[in-house]
Amino acid sequence: MCDCYTPAGEPIPTNKRYSAAKIFSSLEVAAEEPWYGIEQEYTLLQKDTNWPLGWPIGGFPGPQGPYYCGIGAEKSFGRDIVDAHYKACLYAGINISGINGEVMPGQWEFQVGPSVGISSGDQVWVARYILERITEIAGVVVTFDPKPIPGDWNGAGAHTNYSTESMRKEGGYEVIKAAIEKLKLRHKEHIAAYGEGNERRLTGRHETADINTFSWGVANRGASVRVGRETEQNGKGYFEDRRPASNMDPYVVTSMIAETTIVWKP
């Protein structure tokens, strides 16, 4: 894996790792040791039709409900690909921590983390590369589009779980609430950097918050930011930013969350 520079030694415009590494290497951010766990959702498509794997050609499967974490040939489509990807990531040294079938049939998720700082973006990008290679072998197309099928179907996100050392210590829940307040103040800025086509996904339906409104809550899948029940009970822990789209750049999202919550002074 590498990042790219011009002949003059300047990072090329798409090299988002360069500026992310500067944020993560700053003394203020490094002292807080930011941890990330990224839930990367994606959809598998039939190569010749660009229609989700397992869906009848030109038609639709039964409504959502039984597919999430589902098993069985009538609910789970592409598990051989998903398992091969999981094993390849383990072999490659990716800190992959889980896989599951998603709400929309043909849609899956893998989780990378906990990873510290810049390594979160590194590992997500390599895991995506490996997934492209595995699907290529299988003759299946993988898409990271945040809303591959319009209508009453779940979109695809990249929920980003996050904590700092201060959040993981006693009294960390107050630090978490202060960080969420900062994220609220910069909501539009974050949304603009959280992936293309995200407005098709963040509608306030299908387990999302409306793109124009920031909200947070405990165990609330319909909020922009969700805090786990365990974090509230323990008074410390982590939170989940549910806004990033599946096609987001993990370097941009992880460094932006760190910069907003640790460095930025409102």
CATH number for the domain including 251?
A: 3.30.590.10
| pLDDT tens for each residue of 188-210 | 999 999 999 999 999 999 999 99
CA quadruple 181, 182, 185, 188: dihedral sign: negative
Can you give the residue range of the structural domain that contains 64? 16-263
Domain assignment of residue 176, yes or no: yes
Work out the average pLDDT over 159-178.
97
| Confidence band for 163, pLDDT divided at 50, 70 and 90 | very high
Report pTM.
0.95
Q: 61 preceded by cis ω (within 30°)?
A: no
pLDDT score for 246: 98
pLDDT in tens, 80-107: 999 999 999 999 999 999 999 999 999 9
Mean pLDDT value across residues 123-148: 98
In the chain, pLDDT over 90 holds for what percent of residues? 98
Compute the distance between CA of residue 180 and CA of residue 177 in angstroms, rounded to an integer. Answer: 5
137 belongs to a structural domain: yes
| pLDDT for residue 184 | 97
Under a CB-based contact definition with an 8 Å cutoff, are residues 127 and 96 in contact? yes
pLDDT band at 58 (very low <50, low <70, confident <90, very high): confident
pLDDT digits (tens, 9 = 90+) for 221-256: 999 999 999 999 999 999 999 999 999 999 999 999
Mean pLDDT, range 16-21, rounded to an integer: 97
Q: Let me know if residue 8 belongs to a domain.
A: no
Average pLDDT along the chain? 97
Flag whether 256 is in a domain: yes
- Any domain includes 3: no
In a domain, 28, yes or no: yes
Is 111 within a domain? Answer: yes
Q: Which two tokens stand for residue 115?
A: 């990873």
Domain count for the chain: 1
Q: Which residues of 52-63 are buried (b: 16+ CB within 10 A; e: fewer)?
A: bbbbeeeeebee
- Crossing angle between the packed helical segments 16-25 and 250-258, to the nearest 10 degrees: 30
For 97, counting Cβ atoms within 10 Å of its Cβ (0-12 exposed, 13-18 middle, 19+ buried), the class is middle
For residue 232, give the nearest of 180, 184, 193 by alpha carbon: 180
Q: 7 in a domain, yes or no?
A: no
Whether residue 62 is predicted with pLDDT greater than 90 in this model: the reply is yes
pLDDT (mean) for 209-228: 95
Answer yes or no: is pLDDT of 20 > 90: yes
Q: What is the pLDDT of residue 228?
A: 96
Which residue is associated with the tokens 């510290």? Answer: 116
